[in-house]
Structure 1
């Protein structure tokens, strides 16, 4: 082997992730809310971009679900998204495999059809305006504190309790510890706590769940000895051991059922629901409806498409008036950035529609007959059909929603693992099997509770080859008790 130095010339290919490429990938996997926020930032930063203020056509304007003609060479993002043509391979950098990519600009971070019809989004408009900003829990309790206590010492004790209460409404600090910290009598602290437990919401400032429920029952004048005995044995209630509870409380099955129903109407965490933020409104990215021929029509939701234009007139005027080399370089950079943004938005829209169409085609049985007909589906199945990489399909289906006649679903919902069937080559969707298990248990006879083994036997009779531990795992994921617990709950004593 020669140890002398030598000079070799080699050729290699590598994919360099430019900032523009990172932008395109980030837009592809972002939700419509994140994309809208990003576009707003670009509108403020780039003088060549402007918002498209043209009015979208309504449902009665003769808009068809057929693809529109190809957009001009420099389209705005909304017109490009509704085009039937896809970018060329040179213009579509998102179909590559990014698992082995060199990033010249540093690492990047991953964030969590045609036309459109306004009637699909009409029912969603304005929903987010229904909930207004209200007072916080501590503000609400502080107002009651000032109205309830006039003595300065009582107010000081109450203020200390208000500062220590947790988000659920619990105050686990013992009265003795509070009294020592404030230099007052324990009885004084206990009296203040007792009055504050009747604040709205009732059940705050309690040490544990039993005391919280007891305060709420006392407020309703329902804390009798039998109910107190039930609260003292909440662990038996959690195990659904009704025979033992009936013996301890000295009641029959009907009275016990009424007592349990009374407890279920109480709030175990009265402080948690007060400050809870309203559920975010899900705006679908793709709208779906039945076609006249019995098929399905898909179209992008125009409410989620960023409407942005490239102002070429302003660019032309600015270019003729610039003299400095730095100014011309800045203008060229802004033009390139604007073109990349429009191209990325166009490809994002067309890719979402393309992937959603393939998902709908494969899950046609679900949309026609329900979750029991959901088919096994993995990213590779869709990727091969639409000629994209699995990573691209994964990004497209993240945080994207499809509005269907059966409700609004995230695109990832339709990807479920396969469970082998008893027949040759037959498979079943895991989600469909979970739905079947729930239906079986819901319809079981109280005198013949189904064990996990019995559920396995029934599923195998229906063509599903499933193990007992898998049934147990699915049942627990559905928060369904075991057969022993269900038998206790449904047992009717003689």
Structure 2
């Protein structure tokens, strides 16, 4: 073996994640609303990009009735792995071109080729329509509401103590810090902190500032003038009430059945989380990314699948501005920058177009494999994996995973995340086809919902599910029941007893 220095020439291959490739991969995983924000940032950065109002003539595919076939567009994998990222040739999409507009039979179904559903997606009246959200007054936070009440009744050090106490009240209205700890932190006597907390207990909403559920209910019972010795003992024994030990509670409270039912009814009228009515974030409506509708074209019935174009502005490359800029005197750096901007703009337009086609292709395969669900409901949902869809459309599994992330599909049965359609398989007890875990959960929910006064144990649920053809173990039933937020048979029996008592 020679120890002398020498020069060697070696050849190797490696996969390099170019910025364009990273961008295309990132776009696949974004929802339509996130893409809209991304486009706004790119328009701000790139002067050659401009957006126009979204229209309904974007790329659309439809799964045709059996026996029909449509042209298969280039896959996202081909786009990602292709070498077009470095080219500067024009990649603008001609939205009026024949090859683009009529890419599937759904485009010929009407005057504009849409399903007539995109207008329902935005929930508004368009770009120039009124924004009703702007009419709503700003929500008052719980802390602001309490401080507004503390100002007129407290002053000086007491107001400072109240501010610290209010700062430690969580969104449900409960005090989250021990009073002794707060007193040591502020350097004031514990009795003074307790006195200020007593003042806060008189604020609205009633029960705010309580340190536990019992104290919260106690404050509300005092406000309602129902805090007698019997109610006090009931509130002190909420654990017995939760376990449904009504006979023991009646002995402790020294009341009969009628009085116990009346006290339980009174407790149910109280708010266990009085602070939740303040400062909560408004519920955000989920905007669908894909529309699926039953369509009849030329006497044949199939499924129309359309991207929600209302949430995607049309992105264009301003060629005239590019010619104007490139026509003047420029140095080498300016020309290089302008060329980079043009290449980036062309690539983004192509990547967005391919993103839509890829989403449509994945959604089409989902509808094809889960057609029984769209026709008959969740009980007919079939087990399906990412690999099954990826193999069917000849894409990589990771691409399908990105496409189905943060995307929602709107159909006649409601709004569903694309991930909802991918479920594990439960074998049939009769040797037939496997069923989806979602179908089993739906069956469990239906059985428990119809149990009435005869509470079904998990063992009984297993027997009834086996009778329906589901080969499922007891531990799986318990896991699915807990995932549905349904209590055990003991908990449901106690709840029934409390309902009867109330």
Root mean square deviation, CA, Å:
3.3
- 1:424: Cα distance to partner? 2.3
2:305 pairs with 1:329: no
Task: Give the match for residue 405 of structure 1.
Answer: 412
- 1:290: Cα distance to partner? 2.2
Aligned counterparts, 1:162-177, within 5 A: 162-173=166-177
Task: Give the match for residue 109 of structure 1.
Answer: none
Say whether the 8 Å CA contact 2:427–2:471 is kept in structure 1: yes
Of residues 456, 470, 473, the one that matches 1:450 is: 456
Counterpart secondary structure, 2:415: strand
1:310-354 CA-to-partner distances (Å, cap 9, x unmatched) read 011111222221431111111110011001111111111111111
Aligned counterparts, 1:257-272, within 5 A: 257=261, 259-272=263-276
Counterpart secondary structure, 1:271: helix
For 1:470 and 1:375, locate their aligned partners in 2 and report how far apart those are by CA, in whole Å.
18
Task: Give the match for residue 86 of structure 1.
Answer: 73
For 2:340 and 2:58, locate their aligned partners in 1 and report how far apart those are by CA, in whole Å.
38
2:234 pairs with 1:230: yes
2:311 pairs with 1:307: no
2:438 pairs with 1:431: yes
Task: Give the match for residue 248 of structure 1.
Answer: 252
- 1:490: Cα distance to partner? 2.7
Comparing 5-14 and 291-300, the one that deviates more: 5-14
Say whether the 8 Å CA contact 2:59–2:357 is kept in structure 1: no
2:197 pairs with 1:193: yes
Q: State the number of aligned residues.
A: 454
For 1:336 and 1:283, locate their aligned partners in 2 and report how far apart those are by CA, in whole Å.
32
Task: Give the match for residue 103 of structure 2.
Answer: none
2:491 pairs with 1:485: yes
- 1:91: Cα distance to partner? 5.3
TM-score norm. by structure 1 comes to 0.82
Task: Give the match for residue 340 of structure 1.
Answer: 347
Of residues 143, 146, 150, the one that matches 2:151 is: 146
1:270-301 CA-to-partner distances (Å, cap 9, x unmatched) read 23442221122211111122213553211111
2:488 pairs with 1:476: no
Say whether the 8 Å CA contact 2:33–2:312 is kept in structure 1: no
CA distance 1:51–1:373, shift in 2 (3 Å) = same
For 2:330 and 2:395, locate their aligned partners in 1 and report how far apart those are by CA, in whole Å.
45
1:107-154 CA-to-partner distances (Å, cap 9, x unmatched) read xxxxxx7654343326466575565432322222111111233x5354
Counterpart secondary structure, 1:409: strand
For 1:85 and 1:315, locate their aligned partners in 2 and report how far apart those are by CA, in whole Å.
33
State the structure with bigger RCO (CA 8 A, min sep 6), 1 or 2: 2
For 1:169 and 1:66, locate their aligned partners in 2 and report how far apart those are by CA, in whole Å.
50
Counterpart secondary structure, 1:308: strand
CA distance 1:349–1:242, shift in 2 (3 Å) = farther
TM-score norm. by structure 2 comes to 0.81
For 1:228 and 1:23, locate their aligned partners in 2 and report how far apart those are by CA, in whole Å.
63
Give ranges in structure 2 of 5+ residues lacking alignment.
63-69, 83-105, 108-112, 126-130
CA distance 1:281–1:132, shift in 2 (3 Å) = farther
Give ranges in structure 1 of 5+ residues lacking alignment.
58-62, 69-82, 96-112
Say whether the 8 Å CA contact 1:377–1:414 is kept in structure 2: yes
Aligned counterparts, 1:337-416, within 5 A: 337-416=344-423
2:21 pairs with 1:14: no
For 1:94 and 1:278, locate their aligned partners in 2 and report how far apart those are by CA, in whole Å.
42
For 1:391 and 1:127, locate their aligned partners in 2 and report how far apart those are by CA, in whole Å.
40
